[in-house]
Structure 1
Amino acid sequence: SVVLRSPLLLPIQTRLKHYVIGQPLGQGSFGITYRGFDTQKKTLVAIKEYCPSEFVARHKDQYSLTLHSEQAQETFDIGLRSFRNEAQLLKRFYHGHIVRVFNYFDAHRTAYLVMDYYEGETLQAYLVRQPRQRLPWQEALALLVPVLDGLQQIHAQKVLHRDIKPANLYLTTQNRLILLDFGSARQVVAGHSRSLTTILTPGYAPVEQYGVESQGPWTDIYAVAATLYRMITGRTPPPATDRILSDTLQSPVEQIPDIPLTLNSALLQALAVRPQQRVPSIGQLNRQFQAILDHGAETIRPLESSLAEAYPPPNKFKQWTVWLAVAVVVVGITVGVTLGSLALLNNRAISEELQIRQESLSVDHELNVWQEKERCGTNACYLAYLDAYPEGRYAVSARARIEQEQQRLKAATSSLQLFQVFRDQLRDGSQGPAMVLIPKGEFQMGSPDKEVGRDRDAEHQHWVKIGESFAIGQYEITVGEFRQFANATRYRTDAERNTGGLKGCYLAYYESSTGHYKYRYQENFNWKNPKFSQEENHPVVCISWGDAVAYAAWLSEQTGSTYRLPTEAEWEYAARAKTTTARYWGNDPDQACLYANVADLTIRQEFSNWDIHNCTDRSVYTMPVGMLQPNRWKLYDMLGNVWEWTCSAYDKNYSGAEKQCVPSHNWDSDRVARGGAWSDSPLGVRSAKRFNTTPMYRSGGRGFRVVRE
């Protein structure tokens, strides 16, 4: 089926200052949020455009907004001013659980704000996937409490959110909850033109938002409590207006008996219909929740007085700090006296004493390192210990811990939700590539007889069983990710070393004598300089099969998990995502520009005689990963952008090699690449299309993604 793109959306690859617009992340009645790329900082961002769809349309230039009527100008301007004010305000805040705005500007007769981009999903989507659509109360509190600390800072500046709910909380792949969408423009515009149902959410909005009483911090307190109620019970509270005459709210403990009575009481107080009966501040509510989280079902003295806001309880940590400081002084004096006494020893005794002390310090240092790695508890930490002390006192224990951690990782993977996005941690604390858990299953590999562009000799259909679930990269490996590996290992690619007698990278060039475009290996061109412009978030190119295998091996060593290239069967299974058409969006090649960076009308600017798709993706060469729409399994660029190496040897007859990996030391047979690239016509951009080359091959259209077992 054809997916129609909203005419209100900016074209993909639109430039806004030093930002590049990608696919939309969300589209509401008052604005559109896009995935974007910051070309200066080389990172993904989220870009929000003020776009109240009731009043505006996109101009025929595809960029500017135009009003439906002159009568809407005043309301549009009021909302625009409020949108700018919101951006100005949020730009002053920096809190790990409040969406960060770091830029805003005017363009195309509207305004934009630039925010951090987070990988993950809304809390609402996450809850829907949980058993009975709810969380254990401990997990729910642990997620929500840090958000309240940020909200307390916002309230201190006399700012309200007014629309806290699971849909406006974002759970990142690092399990961090972020409060999104303050939506002040929505509130102001709605006050001038729309019904109340467009600016509040029944069940999460208290009575004062219906115009019954004045709003204040107590308004957000109600919404926070309603959100926690939904997280714990799996149910949305009844609309506040339905509770005025006869309160129909069911107590949480009636539904979930293991909830502490203290939490039940705190929730019911915060959900009181009358604002005067609620806890007076978000700070006080935060302390109540934190105390419950710390002590569980134990009896907790309620914080009844608002004076608790101004005079928090004494900090026991500071008291311990004082005692520790005293202890350090005493130890320092003792050490000083001991060292001073050494001056009384003869030279030989001094030498022996110093040697003993140095050996002691060495052992203590190793112990300190080991204890630090034990506290960390990840494979990366234990591997770091082994790097420093390969034959150390705790080396056997470290290797045992690594084995245990590998087992734990396998168990953790089995507990992941299907299609969940996650990242493994590297040794330096940074994150590895985003991965998506794919289910096991069975599919028809190859293409049917009537598929346009089919290679009859190499694409015969046959059933393949994928016996185990596996994780595959959500995106192709980027320049930035490959650079991290190359810098850490001082790795030089085959293109840089001119391996196999092939100098540089295989690239397109224009031959003026014939007027044709040709390909050849060109020296001094490689992944750092593929002869066209690339940013850190573009897919890395000019990569041989050996280069890709080396990256996967490094990633395995960094994380303690097993990373590799996908088999040819795994690749096609993931790309199809249960579809049977030529492409995962359907059979029409001219729909490609919504999903894939391919040879299109844009490429004719430089390669005028190439066969193309009759569409426009606004990119001649590679584009940043993840800018277009994914397949139904959340995988981006499985077709187009770059051909992707698999670990399988090429077998024209599909005799089983498609389900296996070639050993990394075997360089005899051709390898298979899949997916097509920015330079490919419709014949090359199909789920079943195969491309076999030698392992040494590297080109400006060849990259890869990884699999984690």
Structure 2
Amino acid sequence: MRKQLIDNLKKLVDLPPIFKGENRHFTESELAAFLNDSGTLAITDLILAQLREVTELDDTLVAFFSYEELLGKATLFFFRHLLHNDARAKTTLETLQRECLLVKVDAIQTTQEQLLTRLQQQLEQQNASAIAAIQAGNFAKVEQLTPALKRLQNAIDTVPQRLQAAVVAWQDSHQQFIEFSQRFDNWRHLLDAKVDQVLDAVSTLGDIDQTLKTLLQEFRAFKYKYELSEHVKARDEFTHHSPESAAKIEQALATLKRLPVHNYELMNLAGTVVSSTGSVAEAEQLFLEARDCAQNPPEKALASFNLFQVRLRRQAYPEALADLQSAINLEPSYALHNVNRYPMEKLLGVGGMGCVFLCRDLDEDNRQVVVKCFWEGHKGARHEVFKEARIMREIAGDYVPKPLHWDYADAIRQEKPYFVTEYIEGALDGETWLSKKGKLDLANGLEVAKQIAQGLALAHQAGVCHFDLKPANLLLKSVNNRLRVKIIDFGLARVATSLKQQAAKTQAHSGKSLLVQNVFGTLDYAPPEQLGDMRYGEPDASSDVFAFGATLYRLLSGESPRFPHPSELPDSPELQLLLLDCLKPDPKKRPAIEDVIERLSSLLEKTEKKPGTVFRDSLKNGGKGPEMVIMPAGQFRMGDVQGTGGDREKPVHKVSVKSFAMGRYPVTVGEFRQFVESTGYKTEAEKGKDDNNWRKPYFSQDDNHPVVCVSWNDAVVYVKWLSEQTGKEYRLPTESEWEYGARGGTETDYWWGNEFGKNRANCYDSGSQWSNKSTSPVGSFKGNPFGLYDTVGNIWEWVADKWHENYEGAPIDGSVWEEGGENYRVLRGGSWFFRPWFARTANCNRDDSDGRNDYDGFRVVSSVAWT
């Protein structure tokens, strides 16, 4: 590039002079403009414009000239040299100086030298003080002097930069000289004031040292008064501060914030005291500063552990776990359990007894386990302290997670007990279930309630109480189409103290209810006797009955049980009465757990879904799902039983089907619209800009007609949404499920016989008023023996299976035939546009998964929790 630039510059040497054309001198304004090396009249731009008039310029050369105004600055250098000996310039400058309108550079240099001398003297004095402090061993004094020394040194270092600014400004026009002289004068006064401030600050360093000592004494006094330690503890949350003491702590904290220097001991002390007031954000910042000030690993470890504790308060679980891990890495004694065997992967939660981690068991094939670590453990022999947990494993294995191990993290002192259980993958605790899947319906709620009550009954018979039952201590998981429950934290009351009762007192008197709830969980499930109401005696098995009623109310209503109301529960007077009985304040008036089980069994028998039962699941958005009918379990012969069909319907084979629920009708326009309005979904027809789509097919449709112009892909998205809205498993029927339901226990071509007849269904030339014209409203014709409508004609219905040319190798258990086959999906049932032969129960059709026609729709099925 250098060679290229030199070659291009040589070409410009022989050009005629530029700026030639007027035989006169420059005016004052032109001279001022030329003395600017940047701006709208920059010299670089001016020269380049002149050059372009006489020659063609290379782009690289232009870029070189323009870079940081290189050409303009070079030209200015020569202008200044010429002007130095110009009589006019000398006269002008002398006049400006005489009228005090121009500051000479040598005056600026003199000012700089004076200022530097003054600052250097001050720096030497403070350096001497620092050296004396070092010799005296007063390192705290050295730490206090350091910031002031740095500020003085910085002021000295910036003086030459200010002078350079003056020199550059002097190169501007005479007006700019005047403006700079004013700016420089102001700057000089400001710098003098700043130096005075620095000197004042230095003179008060002795006062800072005394302030630090005073603050340390004050925070130590707070620590002893409120029985706090250097380690933040869960119990600290219950510290009660009067308005006067809270004001003193706030005043001390304000003084601390004004200090220019901090130290580790003070910041850690202040954080411990401030965290006990409930000021979590302030405490977190103090511990962060303490960790920054820490001089050795033990100090950093303590600050990290305290950060772990305060971040638990605001449920910042990932950050809290990282802080705990940092503390353990620096000082292993901070481990709450045996982390060498059970390394931590995730902090799952925090409660009244302790915190819970998801870990790996390195001694057992690296499997995932749950480890609960306790805030305050009881001391004693392991077999006594963990006795109730062992009992629960033996008597209630179906109702609690399997206990795997238990021990003390500090076995010598019998401190920091922990408890290890199996990890149930895919299970959701009750609160998470409510947030993701919504409240339980009556049938599932009763089934869950009975399992909880049975677990409580077994425990009570063995003399074990839970004392902390709530939705968050239940794990729910669907197993074999049934909702199964595991009760966690069962049998741990003997292991550790629950701080729930003290939390209740704190919530009532300290005004820290939100923090108490974050750390120790909601108190809405604890009966009066567990919250300190001595009228009702000590907690016992009836306390679990109260918590059971509150828990079930929450699961069925989605509302807090603090102020229960029957209108929030399912429409079942017996259930409403049962829960209100459990929630009576007086323990003697609550039913025994055995009575609860008996009443639940009676309710279940009355509400159990039997074959033929029609129901509609509630949606989270407040609506209702499609009407569903329970299909009985059974066997049937699938395919062309009558011999009137084609090869696709052979061989006829026997299929066994479990009980399931099937849509009473095909999904209607109104039901599909509810989905679209809830999600904003666009069908594949709409995305393809088809005029003929579900909103406006070639014929008009009201909300009671089956939805059409939907593809198999559209139907799958709908059933996924329906599952999320109801908390149940909804899907498309398998081909065998569809035929089983459509036959209704018969083996004829149509469920009513082998002859189609007239006006029995909506097909082409069927004699109905909709024949050959459009779909008919669902339920316009008689239903089959299983209570299903429109299984013959009206619309083709998508099912889950892939297309196969015959039934060789077809499933015989009612499951979906997904593997193999061609890339088509199956349709069943015929339609208004097809002749009756196509509507035979055994017949089938096919289309691409994105195909859509004004005679294609679908119906849904769902699993039944019990048969």
- For the criterion TM > 0.5, the same-fold answer is no
- Give the TM-score range, shorter chain: 0.3 to 0.5
Higher helix share: 2
TM-score (normalised: structure 1) = 0.39
Q: Which has the larger radius of gyration?
A: 2
Higher strand share: 1
